[in-house]
Structure 1
């Protein structure tokens, strides 16, 4: 949750926004003019600003420039009517996070707000890189093992350059944290940092998300749209899960790296952009090359510098350091004292293989803390927390999976095709997310926990599958 400033001269819209966002758990402050909006920001820096482009007195563009001077990393969402999109596009080019056309759909607007808050947190929340000490940072990369010492050295070496970086490692090893650390310690740290998850967005939407589009490029393209890469001009783009990027888009990323330019969908003229690219994947890119699923020229362009993150099982001595860090972090969030861990529990922590890596360890310590009741966390509590994690991975029993098998048989009986497998997987994922949202009455944070997903990943999937969430608060 965050603090959001609304700047709009429409009193009814401000009231509706305040009611809606407060119900979502945010703190909301409102202003009718750019001048008073600036005073609110100077008094206390918010996490996000949502601002109309047409304002009395200082106009939207002038107000945005003044906000940007106060805090370049403050995410700003511009609201605009069709007749004023050129000004909104100009603000986006200057560093605004995004622009939204009025009137807008509430679920879509909430999704944009969540993404903007996450982007702001990524840019402004420091990632502590400390091999020896556990500190109070909300995000930290810790480790005393030799493998992690090499990672720390590599981060320091590449951060001071402008080289393209490819981060490789298993799921849960901390690739996103390393990307953020490189950005925050780098020469572009005062410029935007935008994250694009290449696997969470459908191919057709991913292309427009990355590169934008011109008016009339396709049905529904009623105005020009600036893509994320253009928005990040001067800053850094993090392409997460690039090993899953569709082959058709890989050529455009190659052009970005080679020629420092892009083309919007439906556009004809190249647009120069200056961004640093950091990419990450848990895929075997060499196998993808051999199978023709990944471009060889892009592969070599990406791996100018390669950082390999070791799995937790290969980080001798780091498990307890990380467990203590997570325990203190979650205890602070829950406003309780850290109870510590018994010697027997530490033995289990050290002996477990951690197939989910650091992410699984963090989840385990959070669960154990919740049920510890203030006493030092015991071996039994650690074991129960781990079993709870592995229980989700156990296959459905044969007596229970027959309805699913029957459904799959019916689909296959209709005739397969090259997209059958992906279509079935997507449909099942859509059903999972829909049921999780139903069980939690639409609470996305709780649904994400049920599914074992991060909130941003869940939001991206909701957008990908077009899942509609009934919102109790409607615009007035």
Structure 2
């Protein structure tokens, strides 16, 4: 099927010229904001060319910018190429800040406009494919991130997912340990069986044993019926013990016996019950220091940590901050039917400068608040509750000629995320040509950048 391009322009001469230039596409027209929105809803074009000088204010860009905002609010993934006069670069840049894909200054040159449209359409199609892949991606697709730090951890998790080896997830609070545990489970042969999670720090010490192992009727006051514990509930599947560093020392011995023998006894019971489950543990505590202090059993530490996985804090994941931010923004925008659709440049810089002591959980909370509080289409630093970026960060230059060879891979990813996955703008930020950038992508095995992942 021929791709549809929407041309929004009240000049019949420009309409005819664009129709002649873009003969490979099905061209539909609109001459004002109302008809543009109607055509957008009807044809759902991936690419729109938009003249900023629209009636009833053709001498200025106000109506064109309003049309741009409305198009992106209705279809955020649409690539809009704004068309401006020779002396109207300021409004063109304002349109880019709002969310336009690119701009083109009159007079129309057929080869140039065709190249812009082809590039925009190809990018839109790649992004569509990536969204489809994201929805059908296997278990590790729960984990979002392109940084070297998180990719290393993901590969480690993928290798152990198909085994029953005991895994210990280490990392600060809010780094996504339960997400990793669920991903390992969903990538394992036990994926069709239960995934049962319990937070050892959230249950009072005197109740944790019965919560884990269950209890027989009459085992204690109030035990009016036999109750199955979390361990039995996970039969055939995976048990996730979060914050195991907070497990009472007295209960650690019983847990060790279960892990070694794979049998349990309910509280108040006398018969052994075999259990076939995989156990994944997690903690933000330093278990080795606790072993030295004798607040955590050494034998249990080695039993649960056959393969430890250290999950990096968000501050060490570089441009994953922006990638995660955009993911949460899209999710919350739909949930709250909000206007916000992207981040301003100052918001991106503020996010990269922030230390994120609460990690991903903090990012989620700030994004949820920002989506609700933002006045326009772009989220600002104050919406996130973050300080304006420092002068040093404002003046940061992403130029490969000034970056040491050992840092080029990091610089490319950083520029790619800041350019919102636009290869041309990434090349501009880095100060190289597109062919040079593609060569560097091949050199550093950054093939995911080609597909916009």
Task: Identify the TM-score tier after normalising by the shorter chain.
Answer: 0.5 to 0.7
Equivalent residue, structure 2, for 1:187:
189
1:76-132, Cα deviation, whole Å (9 max, x unpaired): xxxxxxxxxxxxxxxxxxxxxxxxxxxxxxxxxxxxxxxxxxxxxxxxxxxxxxx99
Equivalent residue, structure 1, for 2:265:
263
3-state DSSP class of the match of 2:224?
A: coil
Q: Distance in 1 between matches of 2:272 and 2:366?
A: 49
Q: What runs of 5+ residues in structure 1 fail to find an aligned partner?
A: 1-130, 387-476
2:197–2:240 Cα contact (<8 Å) kept:
yes
Equivalent residue, structure 2, for 1:331:
333
Equivalent residue, structure 2, for 1:360:
362
Equivalent residue, structure 1, for 2:101:
none
Q: Distance in 2 between matches of 1:303 and 1:348?
A: 37
1:173–1:310 Cα contact (<8 Å) kept:
yes
Q: Distance in 1 between matches of 2:131 and 2:164?
A: 28
Please state how far the C-alpha of 1:242 moved relative to its aligned partner: 0.4
Q: Distance in 1 between matches of 2:316 and 2:208?
A: 35
2:339–2:375 Cα contact (<8 Å) kept:
no
3-state DSSP class of the match of 1:226?
A: coil
Equivalent residue, structure 2, for 1:210:
212
Q: Distance in 2 between matches of 1:338 and 1:261?
A: 53
How many residue pairs end up in the alignment?
A: 256
Please state how far the C-alpha of 1:143 moved relative to its aligned partner: 1.2
3-state DSSP class of the match of 2:142?
A: strand
User: Which of 213, 238, 243 does residue 241 from structure 1 map onto?
Assistant: 243
Equivalent residue, structure 2, for 1:342:
344
Q: Distance in 1 between matches of 2:182 and 2:200?
A: 17
3-state DSSP class of the match of 2:163?
A: coil
Please state how far the C-alpha of 1:351 moved relative to its aligned partner: 0.6
Please state how far the C-alpha of 1:362 moved relative to its aligned partner: 1.4
Equivalent residue, structure 2, for 1:429:
none
1:132–1:144 Cα contact (<8 Å) kept:
no
Q: Output aligned runs, 1:99-110, within 5 Å.
A: none
Please state how far the C-alpha of 1:269 moved relative to its aligned partner: 2.1
Q: Output aligned runs, 1:436-475, within 5 Å.
A: none
Equivalent residue, structure 1, for 2:302:
300
Point out which structure has higher relative CO (alpha carbons under 8 A, 6+ apart).
Answer: 1
Q: Distance in 2 between matches of 1:140 and 1:287?
A: 31
TM-score by length of 2: 0.54
2:200–2:243 Cα contact (<8 Å) kept:
yes
Q: CA RMSD in A?
A: 2.3
Q: 1:132 to 1:147 in 2, by over 3 A?
A: farther
Please state how far the C-alpha of 1:372 moved relative to its aligned partner: 0.8
Q: 1:275 to 1:345 in 2, by over 3 A?
A: same
Q: 1:145 to 1:177 in 2, by over 3 A?
A: same
Equivalent residue, structure 1, for 2:287:
285
Q: What runs of 5+ residues in structure 2 fail to find an aligned partner?
A: 1-129, 389-453
Structure of larger gyration radius: 2
Q: Does 2:169 align with 1:167?
A: yes
Q: Distance in 1 between matches of 2:189 and 2:134?
A: 25
1:327–1:366 Cα contact (<8 Å) kept:
yes
3-state DSSP class of the match of 2:343?
A: coil
